[in-house]
Structure 1
Amino acid sequence: MSEVLKIKRTEDAKDLPLPQYMSEGAAGMDLYANVKEDVVLKPGDIKLIPTGIKIELPKNYEAQIRPRSGLALNYGITLLNTPGTIDSDYRGEIKLIMINLGKEEFIIKRGQRVAQMVINQITRPKIVEVDNLSETERDVGGFGHTGI
Protein backbone atom coordinates (compact mmCIF):
# COMPACT_ATOMS: atom_id res chain seq x y z
CA MET A 1 0.00 0.00 0.00
CA SER A 2 1.55 3.27 -1.03
CA GLU A 3 -0.90 5.23 1.15
CA VAL A 4 -0.11 6.14 4.75
CA LEU A 5 -1.96 4.79 7.79
CA LYS A 6 -1.64 7.26 10.65
CA ILE A 7 -1.84 5.75 14.14
CA LYS A 8 -2.13 7.55 17.46
CA ARG A 9 -1.79 5.68 20.74
CA THR A 10 -4.04 6.65 23.62
CA GLU A 11 -2.25 8.02 26.70
CA ASP A 12 -2.67 4.74 28.58
CA ALA A 13 -1.24 2.65 25.72
CA LYS A 14 2.19 4.23 25.16
CA ASP A 15 3.88 1.03 26.38
CA LEU A 16 2.09 -1.22 23.89
CA PRO A 17 3.49 -2.01 20.43
CA LEU A 18 1.99 -0.40 17.36
CA PRO A 19 -0.02 -2.78 15.16
CA GLN A 20 2.33 -4.86 13.06
CA TYR A 21 2.40 -7.50 10.37
CA MET A 22 3.84 -10.72 11.79
CA SER A 23 5.03 -12.18 8.47
CA GLU A 24 6.04 -10.99 5.01
CA GLY A 25 2.79 -12.23 3.44
CA ALA A 26 0.39 -11.29 6.26
CA ALA A 27 -2.75 -9.46 5.13
CA GLY A 28 -3.66 -8.38 8.64
CA MET A 29 -1.70 -6.57 11.32
CA ASP A 30 -2.10 -7.66 14.91
CA LEU A 31 -3.91 -5.51 17.46
CA TYR A 32 -3.10 -5.62 21.17
CA ALA A 33 -5.29 -5.61 24.27
CA ASN A 34 -5.07 -2.32 26.15
CA VAL A 35 -6.49 -3.62 29.43
CA LYS A 36 -5.31 -2.30 32.80
CA GLU A 37 -5.68 -5.69 34.48
CA ASP A 38 -6.50 -9.19 33.31
CA VAL A 39 -10.01 -9.59 31.87
CA VAL A 40 -11.72 -12.93 32.37
CA LEU A 41 -14.00 -14.01 29.52
CA LYS A 42 -16.20 -16.80 30.81
CA PRO A 43 -17.97 -19.05 28.29
CA GLY A 44 -20.73 -16.97 26.71
CA ASP A 45 -19.33 -13.65 27.96
CA ILE A 46 -19.18 -10.61 25.68
CA LYS A 47 -16.80 -7.78 26.60
CA LEU A 48 -15.54 -4.62 24.96
CA ILE A 49 -11.73 -4.66 24.83
CA PRO A 50 -9.83 -1.45 24.00
CA THR A 51 -6.79 -1.54 21.71
CA GLY A 52 -5.25 1.78 22.70
CA ILE A 53 -5.06 3.05 19.14
CA LYS A 54 -6.87 5.55 16.96
CA ILE A 55 -6.27 5.64 13.22
CA GLU A 56 -6.56 7.99 10.28
CA LEU A 57 -7.16 6.12 7.06
CA PRO A 58 -6.71 7.64 3.62
CA LYS A 59 -9.97 8.57 1.87
CA ASN A 60 -11.59 5.59 0.12
CA TYR A 61 -10.01 3.07 2.51
CA GLU A 62 -11.47 1.05 5.35
CA ALA A 63 -10.02 -1.08 8.11
CA GLN A 64 -11.61 -4.45 8.77
CA ILE A 65 -11.22 -5.89 12.25
CA ARG A 66 -11.12 -9.68 12.30
CA PRO A 67 -10.59 -12.47 14.82
CA ARG A 68 -7.25 -14.24 15.17
CA SER A 69 -7.60 -17.78 13.88
CA GLY A 70 -5.48 -19.34 16.64
CA LEU A 71 -7.66 -17.85 19.38
CA ALA A 72 -10.79 -19.04 17.56
CA LEU A 73 -9.55 -22.60 16.99
CA ASN A 74 -7.80 -23.21 20.29
CA TYR A 75 -10.04 -21.30 22.72
CA GLY A 76 -13.31 -20.39 20.95
CA ILE A 77 -12.49 -16.68 21.21
CA THR A 78 -13.85 -14.55 18.40
CA LEU A 79 -15.27 -11.13 17.63
CA LEU A 80 -18.91 -10.21 17.23
CA ASN A 81 -19.80 -7.93 14.33
CA THR A 82 -16.99 -9.47 12.34
CA PRO A 83 -15.50 -8.23 10.26
CA GLY A 84 -15.99 -4.91 11.96
CA THR A 85 -15.54 -1.92 9.68
CA ILE A 86 -13.62 1.21 10.62
CA ASP A 87 -14.59 4.02 8.25
CA SER A 88 -12.04 6.53 7.01
CA ASP A 89 -13.71 9.37 8.92
CA TYR A 90 -13.74 7.62 12.34
CA ARG A 91 -11.18 8.98 14.81
CA GLY A 92 -12.12 7.23 18.04
CA GLU A 93 -10.28 4.40 19.76
CA ILE A 94 -10.66 1.00 18.12
CA LYS A 95 -12.40 -1.35 20.54
CA LEU A 96 -13.15 -5.03 20.06
CA ILE A 97 -16.43 -6.79 20.87
CA MET A 98 -15.00 -10.12 22.05
CA ILE A 99 -16.97 -13.27 22.89
CA ASN A 100 -15.97 -16.60 24.36
CA LEU A 101 -17.69 -19.40 22.45
CA GLY A 102 -15.42 -21.96 24.07
CA LYS A 103 -15.95 -24.21 27.09
CA GLU A 104 -13.29 -22.71 29.38
CA GLU A 105 -12.60 -19.28 30.82
CA PHE A 106 -10.16 -17.24 28.76
CA ILE A 107 -7.95 -14.56 30.27
CA ILE A 108 -7.10 -11.48 28.22
CA LYS A 109 -3.82 -9.96 29.34
CA ARG A 110 -2.38 -6.52 28.70
CA GLY A 111 -0.45 -6.45 25.43
CA GLN A 112 -1.85 -9.77 24.20
CA ARG A 113 -2.50 -10.03 20.46
CA VAL A 114 -6.29 -10.31 20.30
CA ALA A 115 -7.41 -9.37 16.77
CA GLN A 116 -6.12 -8.35 13.38
CA MET A 117 -6.75 -5.34 11.18
CA VAL A 118 -6.85 -5.54 7.38
CA ILE A 119 -6.75 -2.35 5.30
CA ASN A 120 -8.78 -2.32 2.08
CA GLN A 121 -9.45 0.19 -0.64
CA ILE A 122 -13.15 0.73 -1.21
CA THR A 123 -15.31 1.89 -4.08
CA ARG A 124 -18.48 3.94 -3.77
CA PRO A 125 -20.44 3.27 -6.95
CA LYS A 126 -23.28 5.44 -8.18
CA ILE A 127 -26.59 3.91 -7.04
CA VAL A 128 -29.17 3.46 -9.80
CA GLU A 129 -32.59 1.91 -9.30
CA VAL A 130 -33.69 -0.34 -12.19
CA ASP A 131 -36.74 -2.44 -13.06
CA ASN A 132 -34.76 -5.55 -14.02
CA LEU A 133 -31.37 -7.12 -13.35
CA SER A 134 -29.40 -9.20 -15.85
CA GLU A 135 -29.93 -12.95 -15.65
CA THR A 136 -27.14 -15.38 -14.77
CA GLU A 137 -26.80 -19.14 -14.67
CA ARG A 138 -27.05 -19.01 -10.87
CA ASP A 139 -29.84 -16.42 -10.91
CA VAL A 140 -31.62 -16.45 -7.53
CA GLY A 141 -30.11 -19.71 -6.24
CA GLY A 142 -28.57 -19.42 -2.81
CA PHE A 143 -28.29 -20.97 0.63
CA GLY A 144 -26.66 -24.24 -0.45
CA HIS A 145 -28.26 -24.58 -3.87
CA THR A 146 -25.03 -26.08 -5.29
CA GLY A 147 -24.89 -28.84 -2.68
CA ILE A 148 -22.84 -29.46 0.44
Structure 2
Amino acid sequence: MLHQVLIKKLPGTEDIPLPTRMSEWAAGFDLYAAVAEPVELKPGERALIPTGFQMAMPGELEAQVRPRSGLALKHGITCLNSPGTIDADYRGEVKVLLANLGTVPFTINRKERIAQMVFQRIPQVELAEADELPETARGEGGFGHTGRR
Protein backbone atom coordinates (compact mmCIF):
# COMPACT_ATOMS: atom_id res chain seq x y z
CA MET A 1 0.00 0.00 0.00
CA LEU A 2 1.39 3.37 -1.04
CA HIS A 3 1.03 6.24 1.45
CA GLN A 4 1.31 9.79 0.16
CA VAL A 5 3.25 12.23 2.34
CA LEU A 6 3.01 15.91 1.41
CA ILE A 7 6.22 17.96 1.64
CA LYS A 8 6.27 21.76 1.79
CA LYS A 9 9.59 23.57 1.37
CA LEU A 10 9.98 26.63 3.54
CA PRO A 11 10.94 30.02 2.07
CA GLY A 12 14.68 30.42 1.61
CA THR A 13 15.31 26.69 1.29
CA GLU A 14 14.80 26.26 -2.44
CA ASP A 15 18.39 24.96 -2.74
CA ILE A 16 17.90 22.26 -0.09
CA PRO A 17 17.06 18.82 -1.56
CA LEU A 18 13.86 17.13 -0.48
CA PRO A 19 14.31 14.03 1.71
CA THR A 20 15.96 11.46 -0.56
CA ARG A 21 16.32 7.70 -0.66
CA MET A 22 19.94 7.05 -1.60
CA SER A 23 19.32 3.56 -3.00
CA GLU A 24 16.38 1.64 -4.42
CA TRP A 25 15.75 -0.41 -1.26
CA ALA A 26 16.81 2.15 1.34
CA ALA A 27 14.42 2.19 4.30
CA GLY A 28 15.18 5.80 5.17
CA PHE A 29 15.10 9.15 3.43
CA ASP A 30 18.21 11.25 4.05
CA LEU A 31 17.54 14.65 5.61
CA TYR A 32 19.58 17.73 4.71
CA ALA A 33 20.74 20.60 6.89
CA ALA A 34 19.01 23.90 6.09
CA VAL A 35 21.35 25.99 8.25
CA ALA A 36 21.97 29.57 7.15
CA GLU A 37 25.60 29.40 8.33
CA PRO A 38 27.80 26.42 9.26
CA VAL A 39 27.16 25.10 12.78
CA GLU A 40 30.14 23.79 14.74
CA LEU A 41 29.36 21.08 17.27
CA LYS A 42 32.13 20.70 19.82
CA PRO A 43 32.49 17.36 21.63
CA GLY A 44 29.60 16.95 24.05
CA GLU A 45 27.49 19.69 22.43
CA ARG A 46 24.09 19.35 20.78
CA ALA A 47 22.13 21.53 18.38
CA LEU A 48 18.69 21.56 16.79
CA ILE A 49 19.28 21.60 13.02
CA PRO A 50 16.50 22.73 10.63
CA THR A 51 15.71 20.74 7.47
CA GLY A 52 13.75 23.43 5.60
CA PHE A 53 10.50 21.52 5.18
CA GLN A 54 7.18 20.69 6.78
CA MET A 55 5.08 17.65 5.99
CA ALA A 56 1.65 16.10 6.29
CA MET A 57 1.29 12.34 6.44
CA PRO A 58 -1.70 10.03 6.85
CA GLY A 59 -2.83 9.32 10.41
CA GLU A 60 -1.71 5.69 10.28
CA LEU A 61 1.94 6.74 9.88
CA GLU A 62 4.68 8.15 12.05
CA ALA A 63 8.09 9.31 10.89
CA GLN A 64 11.18 8.32 12.87
CA VAL A 65 14.35 10.43 12.71
CA ARG A 66 17.47 8.33 13.13
CA PRO A 67 21.24 8.84 12.95
CA ARG A 68 23.17 8.27 9.74
CA SER A 69 25.49 5.34 10.34
CA GLY A 70 28.47 6.92 8.56
CA LEU A 71 28.34 10.10 10.65
CA ALA A 72 28.01 8.04 13.81
CA LEU A 73 30.93 5.73 13.01
CA LYS A 74 33.35 8.24 11.51
CA HIS A 75 32.59 11.34 13.61
CA GLY A 76 30.50 10.35 16.64
CA ILE A 77 27.54 12.41 15.38
CA THR A 78 24.19 11.03 16.48
CA CYS A 79 20.59 12.03 17.04
CA LEU A 80 19.40 12.48 20.58
CA ASN A 81 15.95 11.17 21.48
CA SER A 82 16.54 8.53 18.83
CA PRO A 83 14.49 7.53 17.12
CA GLY A 84 12.72 10.85 17.33
CA THR A 85 9.04 10.50 16.51
CA ILE A 86 7.18 12.90 14.25
CA ASP A 87 3.44 12.46 14.71
CA ALA A 88 1.02 12.65 11.80
CA ASP A 89 -0.65 15.80 13.17
CA TYR A 90 2.61 17.80 13.52
CA ARG A 91 2.87 20.60 10.94
CA GLY A 92 5.97 22.49 12.06
CA GLU A 93 9.38 22.39 10.44
CA VAL A 94 11.13 19.06 10.77
CA LYS A 95 14.29 19.55 12.82
CA VAL A 96 17.01 17.15 13.91
CA LEU A 97 18.56 17.14 17.38
CA LEU A 98 22.21 16.29 16.69
CA ALA A 99 24.90 15.62 19.29
CA ASN A 100 28.65 15.23 18.97
CA LEU A 101 29.80 12.19 20.93
CA GLY A 102 33.15 12.30 19.17
CA THR A 103 36.45 13.73 20.35
CA VAL A 104 36.86 16.60 17.87
CA PRO A 105 34.58 19.43 16.69
CA PHE A 106 32.31 18.66 13.73
CA THR A 107 30.94 21.31 11.36
CA ILE A 108 27.46 20.95 9.87
CA ASN A 109 27.20 22.71 6.52
CA ARG A 110 24.17 23.71 4.47
CA LYS A 111 22.82 20.85 2.31
CA GLU A 112 24.79 18.24 4.28
CA ARG A 113 23.02 14.94 4.91
CA ILE A 114 22.53 14.85 8.68
CA ALA A 115 20.03 12.11 9.53
CA GLN A 116 17.52 9.74 8.02
CA MET A 117 13.75 9.56 8.28
CA VAL A 118 11.93 6.23 8.26
CA PHE A 119 8.15 5.92 8.05
CA GLN A 120 6.31 3.33 10.11
CA ARG A 121 2.69 2.22 10.25
CA ILE A 122 1.07 2.73 13.63
CA PRO A 123 -1.33 0.00 14.77
CA GLN A 124 -4.62 0.95 16.33
CA VAL A 125 -4.27 0.08 20.02
CA GLU A 126 -6.74 0.18 22.87
CA LEU A 127 -5.41 0.15 26.43
CA ALA A 128 -7.50 -1.74 28.96
CA GLU A 129 -6.95 -1.40 32.70
CA ALA A 130 -6.62 -4.71 34.56
CA ASP A 131 -6.31 -5.75 38.20
CA GLU A 132 -4.10 -8.75 37.31
CA LEU A 133 -1.88 -9.65 34.35
CA PRO A 134 -1.29 -13.11 32.85
CA GLU A 135 1.88 -14.83 34.09
CA THR A 136 4.89 -15.50 31.80
CA ALA A 137 8.13 -17.44 32.23
CA ARG A 138 10.07 -14.17 32.18
CA GLY A 139 7.91 -12.47 34.77
CA GLU A 140 9.42 -9.19 35.95
CA GLY A 141 12.93 -9.92 34.67
CA GLY A 142 14.19 -6.71 33.12
CA PHE A 143 17.50 -5.10 32.23
CA GLY A 144 20.17 -7.77 31.86
CA HIS A 145 17.99 -10.55 33.23
CA THR A 146 19.34 -13.14 30.77
CA GLY A 147 23.01 -12.53 31.62
CA ARG A 148 25.84 -10.88 29.71
CA ARG A 149 25.49 -12.89 26.51
**TM tier, shorter chain?**
over 0.9
Residue number in structure 2 paired with 1:11? 11
| 2:29 counterpart of 1:29 | yes
Secondary structure of the equivalent of 1:63?
A: strand
Please list the CA deviations of residues 4-45 of structure 1 after superposition, one character each: whole Å capped at 9, or x if unmatched: 011111112111111011112211110000011111111111
Which consecutive unaligned segments of at least 5 residues does structure 2 have? none
1:72 match: secondary structure:
helix
How far, CA to CA, are the matches of 2:79 and 2:89 in structure 1? 22
What is the alpha-carbon distance in structure 2 between the residues aligned to residue 119 and residue 89 of structure 1? Answer: 14
Q: For residue 68 of structure 2, what is the aligned residue in structure 1?
A: 68
Displacement over 6 Å in runs of 4+: none
* Rounded Cα–Cα distance in structure 2 between residues aligned with 1:99 and 1:18: 23
Q: Where do 5+ consecutive residues of structure 1 fail to align?
A: none
Percent of matched pairs sharing the same residue: 55
- Residue 70 of structure 1 aligns to a residue whose secondary structure is helix
Q: CA deviation at 1:140?
A: 1.2
Aligned residue runs from structure 1 range 26-105, under 5 A? 26-105=26-105
Number of residues paired by the alignment?
Answer: 148
**What residue in structure 2 maps to residue 114 of structure 1?**
114
In 2: Cα distance, 1:25 partner to 1:144 partner: 34
131-140 or 35-44, which deviates more: 131-140
What is the TM-score when the length of structure 2 is the normalising length? 0.95
